[in-house]
Amino acid sequence: MSTSLSTYFLPYQVRWLQDQARYKIDEKSRRIGMSYVQSYEDTLDAARADKPLDVWFSSADESAAKEYILYVAQWARILNIAAQDLGETVISKNDDIKALTVQFATGRRINALSSNPKAFRSKGGKLVLDEFAFHADQEAMWKAARPIITWGYPVRIISTYNGKGNRYYRMVSDAKKAIAEGRKPTWSLHTTTIVDAVMDGLADRILGRKLTFAERQAWLEAEREACGDEDTWQQEYMCNPIDEASAWLPWELIVACESADAGKPENYQGDTCFLGWDVARTGDKSVQWVDELVGDVMITREVRTFRRTSFAEQLDSFDKLMSWYNVRRACIDKTGLGMPIVEEAQRRWGEYRVEGVTFTGEVKQHLATHGKQMFEDKRVRIPQTRDIRESHHAVRRVTTIAGNPRFDADRNEAGHADEFWAHMLALHAAESQLQPSAGATVDPDPADAIPDAMRGRRRSSMFGSGADRLRGPVARSRAEAP
């Protein structure tokens, strides 16, 4: 980085300036100064002695266009470039199209226009589309603006995401696909999340002093908390587009089923419980979820999460939950790594109490559909925690090319909807009392055919002398709860 550039710009901004590609596109966090650095590049292009360029800039709203023009005027003063702020100029009298214009001594102009596609007809020069994902009609805008660069002029597209159903998302996706396939993409892609920007010194600039790594992390966490929900953080700051229209459980449905009393083991009333376990070892979270059936309502009693925890420790936790709560049935994800876990859990607790569920597309649809019905009927109560709320909202229903529904969630640092699937397994464990369980390894309810006097003997024989520590709630004091 040259000394002059580092005076005004952070490393991610310098990388953008130093990229001389004709087609550049940036997926970015909000408020990290990309319009600011773009105005610098445009000022140099309009003022240079060798083949200066007219610049046609468009943002999603008028205030952004005004801010951009102020940046241009600032750079002209700082760089001592002869320029004149012409204010509002008429671009098309017939269509009543106006622009904010700065004219340079080279005769070239920088024009900041609205997002009206008609404004770009019959123009030529450098094209800059700011916050393109938020333009009212991206398709019409691109059709009108693309011919501007026909004679070899450059184009710059800068934006935060606005869902997935738009041209900007497809442009970025095409670039990523080409890179993944080892091809040279049409667009030179830059990605700058808020984490990238902060690690490059953004928070230091904002606070006006050199920050430690811990201080930067604290700043990021405060910003994330201030967002209020994970979708806002992921889309606006982490470059992860969110398609709200396909969210399986909308916010209002989730919040309506939250309870301050849920998720507290001390509130256990001794009724029948059901357990779901979404298994993971590294990467995603492993989640064990216990629901108590009180009347016809499934109330969350305990949620345990594990990251990079050995299976031995996870099984020990499972044993304690099975022992303490009156668990009638546990459903465990047996996909991939879950297979040996299911086998061991069945060896310890019996096939009549532990079922393995394979996460096929059909099974996930069944689990998600039943779970949504329970939420709609207000027959579930979940804790008032952000991780659980975000996990339940993260699941999307999408339709494959073959026309089949698919339920999935984007993977991020918060997980992969792990709490949601553990919860759905717990609800399914209760559901399978009444009908065959989807994806189960055994037929449901064989325990019903076992005389009461015999229940629990198989478990004791499996654990041998070690079974004394897992006698269950009848033989234990409530004070001994795990």
Annotate 305-348 with three-state secondary structure: EECCCCHHHHHHHHHHHHHHCCEEEEEEECCCCHHHHHHHHHHH
pLDDT exceeds 90 at position 388: yes
Using 50, 70 and 90 to split pLDDT, how confident is the model at 433? low
**Architecture of the domain delimited by 246-480:** 2-Layer Sandwich (3.30)
The burial of 297, by beta-carbon neighbours within 10 Å (0-12 exposed, 13-18 middle, 19 or more buried), is given as middle
| CA gap 148, 111 in Å, rounded | 13
pLDDT recorded at residue 396: 84
Question: Mean pLDDT throughout 455-482?
Answer: 36
The answer to whether 357 touches 363, Cβ cutoff 8 Å, is yes
State both tokens at 171.
Answer: 């442009």
Question: Mean pLDDT throughout 98-123?
Answer: 89
pLDDT recorded at residue 432: 54
**Architecture of the domain delimited by 3-192:** 3-Layer(aba) Sandwich (3.40)
Give the H or E element holding residue 364.
helix 361-376
Q: How far is CA 311 from the centre of its chain?
A: 27
pLDDT recorded at residue 479: 39
pLDDT exceeds 90 at position 242: no
pLDDT recorded at residue 1: 43
Share of the chain above pLDDT 70, in %: 85
pLDDT exceeds 70 at position 464: no
pLDDT recorded at residue 418: 92
| CA gap 162, 172 in Å, rounded | 12
Long-range contacts of 475-482 (CB under 8 A, 24+ apart): 476/323, 476/324, 481/265, 481/266, 481/268, 481/324, 482/317, 482/320, 482/321, 482/324
* Range with lowest mean pLDDT among 164-173, 239-248, 348-357: 239-248
Q: What is the pLDDT of residues 208-237, one digit of tens each?
A: 999 999 999 999 999 999 987 777 898 999
pLDDT recorded at residue 377: 94
Q: Torsions phi, psi of 210, nearest 5?
A: -75, 125
Pick 336 or 220 by higher pLDDT: 220
Using 50, 70 and 90 to split pLDDT, how confident is the model at 130? very high
Residues contacting 188, CB < 8 A, separation 6+: 19, 21, 23, 24, 25
| CA gap 135, 168 in Å, rounded | 10
* Range with lowest mean pLDDT among 43-47, 150-154, 263-267, 458-462: 458-462
Annotate 396-451 with three-state secondary structure: EEEECCCCCEEEECCCECCECCHHHHHHHHHHHHHHCCCCCCCCCCCCCCHHHHCC
pLDDT recorded at residue 453: 35
Q: What is the pLDDT of residues 153-211, one digit of tens each?
A: 999 999 999 888 799 999 999 999 889 888 999 999 999 999 999 999 999 999 999 99
Q: What is the pLDDT of residues 397-432, one digit of tens each?
A: 776 666 677 788 766 555 578 999 999 999 999 985
Pick 245 or 154 by higher pLDDT: 154
pLDDT exceeds 60 at position 443: no
The answer to whether 112 touches 57, Cβ cutoff 8 Å, is yes
* Range with lowest mean pLDDT among 5-19, 230-244, 262-276, 304-318: 230-244
pLDDT exceeds 90 at position 470: no
Q: Hey, where are the domains in the chain?
A: 3-192, 202-242, 246-480
Question: Mean pLDDT throughout 369-395?
Answer: 92
pLDDT recorded at residue 35: 96
pLDDT recorded at residue 474: 33
Pick 9 or 93 by higher pLDDT: 9
pLDDT recorded at residue 205: 95
Q: What is the pLDDT of residues 37-53, one digit of tens each?
A: 999 999 999 999 999 99
Q: How far is CA 123 from the centre of its chain?
A: 39
**Average pLDDT in the chain:** 85
Question: Mean pLDDT throughout 355-362?
Answer: 92
pLDDT exceeds 50 at position 450: no
DSSP symbol at 258 = B
